[in-house]
Structure 1
């Protein structure tokens, strides 16, 4: 591939840091069947993604508690124990990102993340402050794979789409980036990432 990559954009969750809401809830709702039902019907992905879009936790909790008053404790536990859902970084991925920065590469981040939990994550994982900057969905009121968030990031950081490569763990977000005009690769592990970057002429 002969693409001249000058900008490298990282997703964060499941690329640089681990995320799994089952971690605290395996303690709070020990029965696996009940826990899966809770995530499928109450604190759903679609409910959580609206906090990534900018809805406050207070609004989000109030909405669900009105619908499921008997589940108030578990609903509030989602934010209360959020820190347990992100227990560690992916050290190999972080090393790749830090190596690119050390080489002088232009590295930024684009993430679906609630504003407050992202700041909490930055405090816990200082490497999240090392790239040139970040677009946080909760700050801009847009979420991947909306084309508008890739456009916002491009304009904010002065990127050339054709010279940009994006790394994300979700196929739909990778396709969204490609639809906007970025190059993009699906993250499935550090060795595959090294190989994918090398294919674009980016050695790490």
Structure 2
């Protein structure tokens, strides 16, 4: 098993979107405005490119308002990205939150490493208070660089001072995992909380009971 070929991790890093908080904005928009309107939006506007801008540190409201102004026929729907952010970034993945807290209870340092805007993260933090519980938080909007750029992983290593091979990172996107692997990190492609729980048990960080 992978866990037997590496040292026991000295810190665990969680992505946030689709690891701790569901990030499926298409599904949430279908509920808000209907599938037809959502399809019109995504056919006309690269919403993920818009999100990448504030994930890199641009102002959340300004980016969404600029995009809405460029597409007046869809402006009301585009503004939902800002005005109903908490509805888009939901629901919480409860088992993953329990794993975060179980690691902390065991004294394992737990870090966040997420593509997230400065203001959108602050908004999510007001509701999802577990986001305040990390020992260190590496949020792309504050760092000015997003995964999978190698620079963000370099910045994490420089800040935490831990050897790459002692870091265990989970993310739901293969390209982000591949970039971490290229730096020597231990990794887990997140496809659901049970698989992540099993990986933490295999790594010797949690017991089976603690990982429930």
State the TM-score, normalized to the length of structure 2.
Answer: 0.87
Structure 1 partner of 2:84:
81
User: Retained in 1: the 8 A contact 2:64–2:82?
Assistant: no
Aligned length: 203
For structure 1, which segment, 185-194 or 56-65, has the greater mean C-alpha deviation from structure 2 after superposition? 56-65
User: Retained in 1: the 8 A contact 2:11–2:167?
Assistant: yes
SS at structure 1 position matched to 2:18: coil
State the TM-score, normalized to the length of structure 1.
Answer: 0.91
**Matching of residues 1-204 of structure 1 within 5 Å:** 1-4=4-7, 5-30=9-34, 32-204=35-207
2:199 & 2:165 partners in 1: Cα distance? Answer: 16
Q: Which runs of 4+ in 1 moved over 4 A?
A: none
Segments of structure 1 that go 5 or more residues without pairing to the other structure are: none
1:102 Cα deviation (Å)? 0.4
User: Retained in 1: the 8 A contact 2:22–2:93?
Assistant: yes
Segments of structure 2 that go 5 or more residues without pairing to the other structure are: 208-212
For structure 1, which segment, 150-159 or 95-104, has the greater mean C-alpha deviation from structure 2 after superposition? 150-159
1:125 & 1:57 partners in 2: Cα distance? Answer: 19
1:85-108 deviation per Cα after TM superposition (whole angstroms, max 9, x unaligned)? 123321111111110110001111
User: Retained in 2: the 8 A contact 1:2–1:200?
Assistant: no
User: Retained in 2: the 8 A contact 1:23–1:84?
Assistant: no
| Aligned alpha-carbon RMSD (Å) | 1.8
1:142 & 1:61 partners in 2: Cα distance? Answer: 19
For structure 1, which segment, 136-145 or 60-69, has the greater mean C-alpha deviation from structure 2 after superposition? 60-69
1:138 Cα deviation (Å)? 0.5
SS at structure 2 position matched to 1:18: coil
1:54-95 deviation per Cα after TM superposition (whole angstroms, max 9, x unaligned)? 121344234424432222222222111111112332111111
1:27 Cα deviation (Å)? 4.6
1:131 & 1:28 partners in 2: Cα distance? Answer: 32
SS at structure 1 position matched to 2:23: coil
1:146 & 1:135 partners in 2: Cα distance? Answer: 14
For structure 1, which segment, 179-188 or 38-47, has the greater mean C-alpha deviation from structure 2 after superposition? 38-47
